Amino acid sequence: MARDRHPREDRLGAVKMEKYGHMAEARRLAGAGRNGEALAACDRALTDRPDDPDLLNLAAAAAWGMGDAGRALPYLDRAMAAHPGHADAYVTLGVILETYGRLDEAANAYRAALEADGERVTAYLNLGNVLMRQGAAGQAIPVYDQALAREPLNVDALNNKGLALKETGRLDEAERLLRQAVGAQPGYAPAWTNLGLVLRLAKRPDEALAAYERALALDPSSIKALNNLAVLKRWRGELEEAEALCRGILETHPDVVETLNNLGDILQAQGRVDEAEALFRRVLELAPDHAEGHHNLAVLLLLKGDLKAGWAHYEWRWLAKDFPSERRNFPKPLWRGEDLAGRTILLYVEQGLGDAVQFVRYAPRVAARGGRVIVECPPVLKRLFETLDGVAQVIARGDALPAFDVQCPFLSLPGILSPDLASIPAATPYVHPDPSDGKTWRERLSGVSGKKVGLAWAGSPHHTNDRERSVPLSRLEPLSRVPGCTLFSLQIGESARQLADIDFPVADLTGDIGDYADTAAFIDQLDLVVTVDTSVAHVAGALGRPTWVMLPHAPDWRWMLDRDDTPWYPNMRLYRQESRRDWDGVLARLTADLERFCND
């Protein structure tokens, strides 16, 4: 015989069944995208149980699913007021706040969820994602570690920690995490996309291409994967394919800011400057704080010779994601051009060696503002920069810095001191060889007859545009047939190995070059330097030596457009490609000019 149940027991059982029945129905409706019906089901249940936190949270989620945040928040307020330890409500609140850009408040909501339930993996993931959006990748990493401690194969945590490691420059670790993610779930397209990005940054383009292709096989419409593939194609020199990828995205998503920005960069690399400018300006219309858009527009305006506007936009460079230099963030104020009145100012190199040589010309102008100038630079430039007028001290990067009052990076100086072409300090030489080094090189070259011509044919292979600006040494063979000159190599590094593969004479004395002071002393004994766009061009230009520079069809901004001279170096002549990768035309003109030079 069945035991009679207590009346209270029957009532509680019925209530529990009714509650979970309504919740199950509401969840089913929400999962089917029928959020309005789900919310109605929650409201019916809440009539009897107005403080039930699960129902309140589910109602908030349904209202949020309808796009009605104003309706969702009161449900969450009721849930948190009645049950301060209900983690789900804080997670839902965090999601809503994050969507509306209230990142600090969202982070606080996720932290509250974790105080209520320290095992809530979703809260760790969401908190890490907010920190990433705030630019705090280093803080996000240990948060993702907490998620992974609880779910070691959580692909979202593996993927997102991989991205955070990438942001902090730890590419090897990022690759390991992302490979773990795709190993745990091979069909997880976002991790393949991010793996491709890490491999591209690690200069492994073929592997990056394979990762992007895998991502797109899984999700052919992924805008992020298509964008990243376009960027990879651009840096592989496959500009037409890169352009087609971007235009394909924009056909269906015309206002994707990253795609517009990438397409502008691709068009500029093709020499289509006006089209590129229109795209960069569109980027800034849609996203006024888009750092890459400002940086790209800055470079384009400088290329066009609009220095005042260009330098203003260029100050956004530090916020651009792929900008290669570190903003030092010294605890001293940034100098903005005011009189120094006896104070000490630190000027520091921020980008490449060629940039350093080009912009160190501003140090004497800074000194003229009444201050004591200290220059910090890479060690290979120290001896050369010690010859500058007006510089009190030169410090090699990595050595202890003396006390200083204000500071300024090199490429902020022209925007302060020469906002137009006419005000560029163009007088050369502004650096000088060491007299003892000059004597040594003069004696070494004293027996050479005719014109002494230095050659540099390649820049750093790590430069993003090196495939466009460098030329194989073998292509320079016509110069060796010009009578009355001797060719000398000025090429340092990996590309110097090409000397072993040519069958025309180029003297190589670079074994005696230890730093840029040696390079300067060597160049100062030459009659002419012929070079691609690399640091040798700047050293020769700064010394005031005759210098001929071979430029790609889409040149670096400093060489501007449609001119064979430059306001930066009065002793320099520019030889531009008339079409992309047309070195033959450049060399034909240059060889004819060299014949005249050697016969003068």
**Within this chain, domains 221-323 and 344-423 share the same CATH topology:** no
DSSP 8-state assignment for residue 565:
S
Which residues on neighbouring strands pair with residue 528, listed in sequence order? 453
d(CA 471, CA 468): 8
pLDDT means per 10 residues in the chain (600 residues)? 33 36 72 79 78 80 80 80 81 86 91 92 95 94 97 96 94 97 96 96 94 97 96 94 97 96 97 97 97 97 97 94 84 94 96 96 96 97 96 96 97 95 95 92 91 94 82 96 96 94 95 95 97 97 98 96 96 96 96 94
* The CATH classification of domain 344-423, taken from the options 3.40.50, 3.30.160, 3.10.150, 3.30.1050: 3.40.50
Which pLDDT does position 22 carry in this prediction? 65
Does the domain at 435-599 match CATH 3.40.50.2000? Answer given as yes
d(CA 209, CA 214): 9
DSSP 8-state assignment for residue 126:
H
In the chain, how many H helices and how many E strands? 28, 9
In the chain, where the domains are located: 221-323, 344-423, 435-599
Pairing of strands 451-456, 485-489: parallel
Which pLDDT does position 21 carry in this prediction? 59
538 within 8 A of 358, measured Cβ to Cβ: yes
Three-state secondary structure string covering 162-225: HHHHHHCCCHHHHHHHHHHHHHHCCCCHHHHHHHHHHHHHCCCHHHHHHHHHHHHHHCCCCHHH
d(CA 527, CA 517): 18
Q: What is the DSSP string of 409-457?
A: EGGGHHHHH--SGGGS---S--S---HHHHHHHHHHTTT--SEEEEEE-
Which pLDDT does position 13 carry in this prediction? 30
Tokens of 227: 């964008």
Residue type, 212: Y
Which pLDDT does position 40 carry in this prediction? 85
State which H helix or E strand residue 535 sits in: helix 535-542
Architecture of domain 221-323: Alpha Horseshoe (1.25)
Residue type, 509: L
DSSP three-state, residue 24: helix
